[in-house]
Amino acid sequence: MKRLATYREIILAAIIAVMVIGISIVAPAFGTRDTFVAVLNDTAFLFMMALAQMIVILTRGIDLSVAANLALTGMLTAMVAEHHPDLPIIVFVVLSTVIGLGLGLINGGLVAALQIPPIVVTLGTLAVFRGMIVVIGGGAQVDGANMGANFQLLPKLTVFGLSSIFWIAVLIAVACWLFLTRTRPGRGLYAVGCNPVAARYCGIDLGRQQLIAYAISGAVAGLSGYLWVARYGVAYVEIATGYELTVIAACVIGGVSIGGGVGSVAGTLLGALFIGLIVNALPVMQVSPFWQMAISGAVILLAVIINARAEARPDKLILPRARREAARVGA
């Protein structure tokens, strides 16, 4: 399975390279360094959110509430900034992460303790979180002029031409890789996703693993909420509406199996970059806005189909091999 994942990552990286070359030929402006930097900066949120979603999917779960978590946390931190604009940046970073963590623990607790299907739980909390934005904010929005300079400072910082949001995504990617490959709870997520029954017999607490996964997803979504609102300078009800579908698509394109137990940090990042390139390339190629969503959806669907066929391919080799072994024994 690890070899298959590596093969997928190589193929996906090759497809991305061919895509960049092809788009640059059609639209030379896309092949510049500034454009590629802009793509990385624009895709930074998707990098972070997709990595967090991957951790949940590894446990055979799904988190449909990540975008609603982002929106609610962004609104709450913006309202705090509106009343206390002189607070240091670290307060907003910690506050948003803690709020997101709490929302993630609600999902994890319902899934782990009550054994409710994750898709049902997170679909419900999606609606609850979105509704809470209206209740708390009264349907109004918070503009950047009322947030204060400190609140909006972090996303404006750049290192080597890349925004601080991108470098935060890099730190999260490194942390996820270390967690999944170097810690017992991280490896336990793969075990739970591959075979929950066997994992339980090995002493792995399924509920605890689910709680960890949704807590990480919530914390990253919360941090992304602060960064999103601070970058774009506005907090309102419809922030990132439907973004959870893009996040899940990035995971699946990157080789994360919806069935659980399969996925990697590198593959997920490539899946997010694949979507980021499409979203940024279509306007440069002067594709009509009416076609952009359809083309993006068609390309994502094609990638998902290819991924599903690749995932099923190894199983097809088992039966012929078993027949050969049976024939050899019978002879």
CATH number at residue 28: 1.10.3470
In percent, the amount of the chain with pLDDT more than 70 equals 89
Number of folded domains that form the chain: 1
The residue ranking higher by pLDDT, 211 or 324, is 211
Residue 304 pLDDT greater than 90, yes or no:
no
Give pLDDT tens digits for 275-284. Answer: 999 888 888 7
Assign 161 to helix, strand or coil. coil
Distance between CA atoms of residues 40 and 133, nearest Å: 29
The DSSP-derived string for 168-184 is HHHHHHHHHHHHHHHSH
**Which CB contacts under 8 angstroms, 24+ apart, belong to 140-145?**
141/234, 141/235, 141/236, 141/237, 142/75, 142/78, 142/79, 142/81, 142/82, 142/229, 142/234, 142/235, 142/236, 143/233, 143/234, 144/233, 144/234
The rounded mean pLDDT for the chain is 87
Specify the pLDDT at position 220. 97
Give pLDDT tens digits for 225-236. Answer: 999 999 999 999
Give pLDDT tens digits for 187-241. Answer: 999 999 888 888 888 888 899 999 999 999 999 999 999 999 999 999 998 899 9
Residue 3 pLDDT greater than 80, yes or no:
no
Distance between CA atoms of residues 35 and 38, nearest Å: 5
Q: Report the run of H or E that residue 66 belongs to, with start and end.
A: helix 66-83
Average pLDDT on 113-123 reads: 92
How is residue 261 annotated by DSSP?
S
Specify the pLDDT at position 77. 96
Specify the pLDDT at position 310. 63
Q: What letter represents residue 64's amino acid?
A: L
In percent, the amount of the chain with pLDDT more than 90 equals 55
Specify the pLDDT at position 161. 86
The residue ranking higher by pLDDT, 250 or 326, is 250
Domain that holds residue 123: 2-330
Assign 157 to helix, strand or coil. coil
Residue 261 pLDDT greater than 50, yes or no:
yes
Give pLDDT tens digits for 31-70. Answer: 788 889 999 999 999 999 999 999 999 999 999 999 999 9
- pTM here is 0.88
